[in-house]
Amino acid sequence: MPTYETNIRPTPSQIVEHPRITVIGTGYLGATHAICMAVLGFDVLGVDVDERKIAALRAGTVPFFEPGLQEQLVAALDSGRLSFTTDFDQAAQFGDVHFVCVGTPQAKDSAAADLTFVVAAFEALATRITRKALLVGKSTVPIGTAARLTELVAEVSPIGRELELAWNPEFLREGFAIEDTLHPDRLVFGVESAWAEQQLGAAFRPILDDGTPLIVSDLATAELVKVAANSFLATKISYINAMAEVCEATGADVNLLATALSHDSRIGGRFLKPGLGFGGGCLPKDIRAFAHRAQELGVGQAVAFLHEVDDINNRRRVRTVDLIRELAGGDLAGKRIGVLGAAFKPNSDDVRDAPALDVARMLYLEGAVVRVYDPEANANAHRAYPDLEYSDSMNHAVTDADVVALLTEWDEFREAEPAALGALVKARRIVDGRHALDVDAYRADGWEFRALGRPAQPRTAALAVDARDERPALSA
Ligand code: UGA
């Protein structure tokens, strides 16, 4: 139920039923949102301060890898409903509803979120908009930010509180960005007036008409939903990875454990995939910023477990290096390691806080000769870690390797033939950092095979067959 006072109902004429939309910030979130809103039939103006990004988008090129988005961008541009600009005056004049989708990276000197871009975007719009309009925050922010921004907007806006603010958190996953935007699990509207709720409803009409669940809340709850969801997902991943640590100490098998747990419908198998753990531009920084904000609010203890979640996650990276070192004979100096994967997850070229690259870097620092191959992320990885060697193909990356390490579970790696890879390497030794490979097939081909949270020695053939038959898909 809405919690605001609804004593003044807006007249229908105050709601723009088919609002013109601006999207500020054209990164993963903003570009996808702008393109999808145009696909849904709205007139959309995408805005960014980065001239190169805008030039690329205008020319029909998505400046990052996201399956299917390129085709949708071209279709949206062709429809005439989508355009891009760097001009905030144009944006202020154009939009009825303005979505702010700029980044909130981790601050350089603390665990807090850096709100510079969010504040700048709200201020740039608020000082320029001269008619009733709605500003909608989509960026992930510390609780209390929307309330602060409401005051800032009222102060700097020529129309004062006529310019309203709402919060509408975004839950899209990279790799599934279009699907998650067009068919979200739910919509959350953090609003302070009936007008804001109805105007936002008009902007999401096609998605709401699809039967998408809508939760209308106050601003703080809407902000909290996002960080609470990401914290829960991170905790679930670290939970199974903590169990992997216990498995390593006991000879138990975390893959079978996860499978058995996943059959309990109260637990479920999603985000219960053990391995190298979580990375990317969201989960790691969001749990840190949340813990930091909770501390500021005097409830740090309530989410103290998030520090443990972070630590478990980081230990998986170190443990993966340990496994690779063990397979390499106890010393990495001068050993050639073929690293498969650099992106923080498959179907993405994003290397922000990527576990794979972190492992590659640690191997390099111990003196290994590291050759990395990722189907999409080589260029970004090279920019982040120019000291590592990069290959244009999986085959080249593993040639003459003392150990192969699979660190991001792209299909290309899952589908590789153990015999074909075996013909290229110096020694048939592989660490599967993502539980993505068929251990029996590799071992049958003479590979020494190690994975986090699994016994070093093969189980009996009979047990292996039983387990495979019972294994449901543990999808992310
Ligand atoms: C995450 C959330 O899933 C989205 O709902 C949210 O909108 C987004 O952050 C955001 O805040 O913008 P994303 O960062 O794209 O999305 O990636 P995820 O699919 O959540 O994967 C995160 C990491 O967890 C990856 O490194 C992945 O390899 C790892 N993971 C995932 C596991 O290690 N095990 C699993 O079972 C699932």
Closest CA to 180 of 29, 281, 44: 29
DSSP string, 23-59: EE--SHHHHHHHHHHHHTT--EEEE-S-HHHHHHHHT
- Residues 30, 34, 35: CA angle, nearest 5 degrees: 120
Cβ neighbour number for residue 237 with a 10 Å cutoff: 23
Pair (21, 91) in one structural domain: yes
- CB-ligand 1 contact for 447 (6 Å cutoff): no
Distances 349 to 32, 354, 381 between C-alpha atoms, Å:
15, 10, 9
DSSP 8-state secondary structure symbol assigned to residue 452: T
* Residue to mutate, 33, 140, 173, 227, ligand 1, most ligand atoms under 8 Å from C-beta: 173
**Domain final residue, candidates 291, 311, 331:** 311
Is 372 domain-assigned? yes
Nearest-CA residue for atom 1 of ligand 1: 173
Asked if residue 475 belongs to a domain, the reply is no
Q: Distances from the Cα of 459 to the Cαs of 274, 443, 454, in angstroms? A: 19, 11, 10
- Are 329 and 434 members of one domain? yes
Residue 1 has a pLDDT of 47
Same domain for 233 and 292, yes or no, is: yes
Distance CA 393, CA 422 (A): 15
Kindly state whether residue 476 falls inside one of the protein's structural domains: no
Identify the burial level of 336 via C-beta atoms within 10 angstroms of its C-beta, where 0-12 means exposed, 13-18 middle and 19 or more buried: buried
At residue 456, the pLDDT reads 87
Mark whether 29 and 153 lie in a shared domain: yes
409 Cα–ligand 1 center, Å: 13
Question: How many angstroms does the Cα of residue 421 sit away from the middle of ligand 1?
Answer: 29
Residue located nearest, by CA, to atom 27 of ligand 1: 278
Cβ-Cβ contacts under 8 Å for 432 (sequence gap 6 or more): 406, 439, 449, 450, 451
Query: Does 201 share its domain with 234?
Result: no
Domain end position, chosen among 296, 311, 326? 311
Assess whether 205 and 259 both reside in one domain: no
Specify the pLDDT at position 471.
43
Whole-number Å distance, alpha carbon 463 to ligand 1 midpoint, is 32
Give the separation between CA 37 and CA 214, rounded to whole angstroms: 18
Residue 99, ligand 1, Cβ within 6 A: no
**What is residue 457's predicted lDDT score, i.e. its pLDDT?**
79
Residue type, 83: S
- Coil, strand, or helix at residue 170? coil
157 lies in some domain:
yes
CA angle, 373 then 108 then 346, to 5°: 25
Q: Is residue 472 part of a domain?
A: no
Ligand 1: atom nearest CA of 173 is: 15
* Radius of gyration, alpha carbons of the chain: 24
The answer as to whether 460 is a domain residue is no
CATH code of 282's domain: 1.10.1040.10
Q: Which two tokens stand for residue 52?
A: 């190169």
Other Cβ atoms less than 10 A from the Cβ of 226: the count is 24
- Please name the residue whose Cα sits nearest to atom 30 of ligand 1: 278
> What is the token pair recorded at 270?
């999603």
* Residue 231 near ligand 1, beta carbon < 6 Å: no
Is position 240 within any domain? yes
Same domain, yes or no: 290 and 390 = no
pLDDT at 459: 61
Out of 275, 296, 311, pick the residue that ends a domain: 311
Show the domain range for 297: 228-311
State the distance from the centre of ligand 1 to the C-alpha of 324, rounded, in angstroms. 25
Locate the ligand 1 atom nearest the alpha carbon of residue 172 and give its number.
7
User: Are 107 and 175 found together in one domain?
Assistant: yes
Active-site residue 282, yes or no? yes
Mean pLDDT by 10 residues, the chain (476 residues): 49 81 96 98 97 97 95 97 98 98 91 94 98 96 96 96 97 95 98 97 98 98 97 98 97 96 97 97 95 96 98 98 97 98 96 97 98 98 96 98 98 97 98 97 97 82 42 46
The answer to whether residues 21 and 153 belong to one domain is yes
Question: pLDDT tens-digit profile of 189-198?
Answer: 999 999 999 9
Position 14 scores a pLDDT of: 86
CB-based contacts of 92, cutoff 8 Å, min separation 6 = 125, 128, 129, 130
The residue nearest atom 37 of ligand 1, judged by CA position, is: 271
Q: Structurally, how many domains does the chain consist of?
A: 3
Which CATH number is 446's domain given? 3.40.50.720
Measured in angstroms, how far is the CA atom of residue 252 from the centroid of ligand 1? Answer: 26
Quick one: 149 and 189 in the same domain? yes
pLDDT in tens, 420-435: 999 999 999 999 999 9
Kindly state if the Cβ of 341 falls inside 6 Å of ligand 1.
no
* Residue among 29, 141, 225, 230 to mutate when testing ligand 1 (max atoms within 8 A of CB): 230
Residue 230 Cβ contacting ligand 1 at under 6 Å:
yes
Which protein residue has the closest C-alpha to ligand 1 atom 13? 173
Q: Is residue 5 part of a domain?
A: no
My answer on whether 283 and 307 are in the same domain is yes
Q: Do residues 252 and 187 share a domain?
A: no
